[in-house]
Amino acid sequence: MRADRLIQVLLHLQSRPRVTAAQLAADLEVSVATARRDLEALSAAGVPVYPQPGRGGGWSLLGGSRTDLSGLTAPEARALFLLAGPGAASSDDARAALRKLVRALPATFRAEAEAAASAVVVDRERWSAVGRERPAEVDVLQRAVVERRRVRIDYTGATGYSSRRDVDPWGLVDKDGVWYLVAGTPRGARTFRVDRVRGLEVTATPSDVPEGLDLAAEWERVVGEVEERRSTTWATVLVRAEHVGVLRAQFGRHTHVEEAADGAGRSARDDGRARVRVAAPTPLDVARHLAGWGAQAEVEGPPEVRAELARLGAELVARYGTGRSSGHQ
């Protein structure tokens, strides 16, 4: 462990003009005394490390001694962070490792590595949609984000309208298997589903990215706006405790369990059912999701959702009730 830590100390020194023992101790999670002993050990071993006393002082490598101990070139560093991607960066250990590696990289291409490390946000809460295969365009867009290049996309919206537009890619979001591009446009920030991109070209024009952009915070803002539109109608539903997961798969994050089953699968209610609140844009949208449940789901309210369910049921009985012909009417 001592040898590994000494390498870490040296990487810190080569990536910063000067570092104090206290700063090094905080970064390596060791005591200040241990950090100071490590610095003195490097100096005693012949490494050109020297202390500078006084205000603003610290430990530094002798001029000209900073080399890239990682051995990585700029393209290799960028590729490493791209490959690490959202899956690896979702764990605390991986994030810590990536931060340490960024600090070890030469300043000349540290910015690209940091951009690659923050180019993707992972959001595990689905929007009532089944994840698809990762679109091939994701890799191209991710490189455009890192290299800060404007992209030209042929995009088909949810209504079927297609358009060609130039956008500044800010980052990508993996929302439980559905990929989104967060980008800047002349009309402000916009979000595009990557699987609706029909054509893609990376241009030579540098992209315009807001200074200090926090992709995760920007995505939270997008989610907040979408959730507000998608959750205007809430309904309270009673279902068997073991079926709550199915209900959650239908409504996604618009599912709030008020009375849940315990660890043994027992419901808080005497009849074995759980009380769940679900939401959709309109009463009809809620009713359409619940109509297939039949008598397995009881809607306590609101009356608008119950009325839509009754109307849908009456339509089904009128068309498919006993004695009706199977032919066209």
Last residue of one domain, picked from the residues 118, 150, 185: 118
Mean pLDDT across 79-88: 49
pLDDT-based confidence at residue 197 (cuts at 50, 70, 90) = very high
For the stretch 265-291, pLDDT in tens is 444 556 788 999 998 888 998 999 999
- Average predicted confidence (pLDDT) for the chain: 76
- 259 and 312 share a domain? yes
Domains held by the chain: number: 3
3-state helix, strand, coil in the chain (%, to 5): 45, 25, 30
Length of the chain in terms of residues written: 329
Separation between Cα atoms, residue 143 and residue 122, nearest integer Å: 17
In a domain, 292, yes or no: yes
- 19 and 91 share a domain? no
In a domain, 306, yes or no: yes
In a domain, 22, yes or no: yes
What pLDDT was estimated at residue 18? 81
Q: Looking at the predicted structure, is the pLDDT value of residue 152 above 70? A: yes
C-alpha radius of gyration, the chain, whole number: 28
What pLDDT was estimated at residue 118? 57
Structural domain containing residue 95: 74-118
Of residues 104 and 278, the one with the higher pLDDT is 278
- 36 and 111 share a domain? no
39: domain CATH number is 1.10.10.10
- 55 and 83 share a domain? no
Give whichever of 85-89, 145-149, 237-241 has the largest mean pLDDT: 237-241
Token pair listed for 191: 């979000």
Report the largest interatomic distance among the alpha carbons of the chain, rounded to a whole angstrom: 97
pLDDT-based confidence at residue 1 (cuts at 50, 70, 90) = very low
Token pair listed for 30: 């060791």
- 242 and 296 share a domain? yes
Separation between Cα atoms, residue 47 and residue 120, nearest integer Å: 39
Token pair listed for 33: 């005394």
pLDDT-based confidence at residue 12 (cuts at 50, 70, 90) = confident
Q: Which amino acid is at 175?
A: K
In a domain, 43, yes or no: yes
pLDDT-based confidence at residue 119 (cuts at 50, 70, 90) = low
- 39 and 78 share a domain? no
In a domain, 89, yes or no: yes
Separation between Cα atoms, residue 295 and residue 293, nearest integer Å: 6
Q: Looking at the predicted structure, is the pLDDT value of residue 6 above 90? A: no
What pLDDT was estimated at residue 89? 46
- 248 and 307 share a domain? yes
Three-state secondary-structure class, residue 150: strand
Separation between Cα atoms, residue 236 and residue 89, nearest integer Å: 37
Which secondary structure element, helix H or strand E, spans residue 165, and what is its range?
Answer: strand 162-175
For the stretch 90-100, pLDDT in tens is 455 555 555 55
- 235 and 313 share a domain? yes
What global pTM score does this model have?
0.49
- 89 and 52 share a domain? no
Of residues 22 and 99, the one with the higher pLDDT is 22
- 248 and 293 share a domain? yes
Asked if residues 120 and 85 have their Cβ atoms less than 8 Å apart, the reply is: yes
What pLDDT was estimated at residue 67? 46
253: domain CATH number is 3.30.70
Three-state secondary-structure class, residue 184: strand
Mean pLDDT across 16-28: 84
For the stretch 203-239, pLDDT in tens is 999 999 888 888 888 888 887 777 777 678 899 999 9
Place of tokens 């490959």: 83
In a domain, 254, yes or no: yes
Please tell me whether the peptide bond between 206 and the residue prior to it is cis, using omega within 30 degrees of 0. Answer: no
In a domain, 324, yes or no: no
For the stretch 121-147, pLDDT in tens is 665 555 555 556 778 888 889 888 888
- 53 and 85 share a domain? no
Mean pLDDT across 235-251: 89
In a domain, 151, yes or no: no
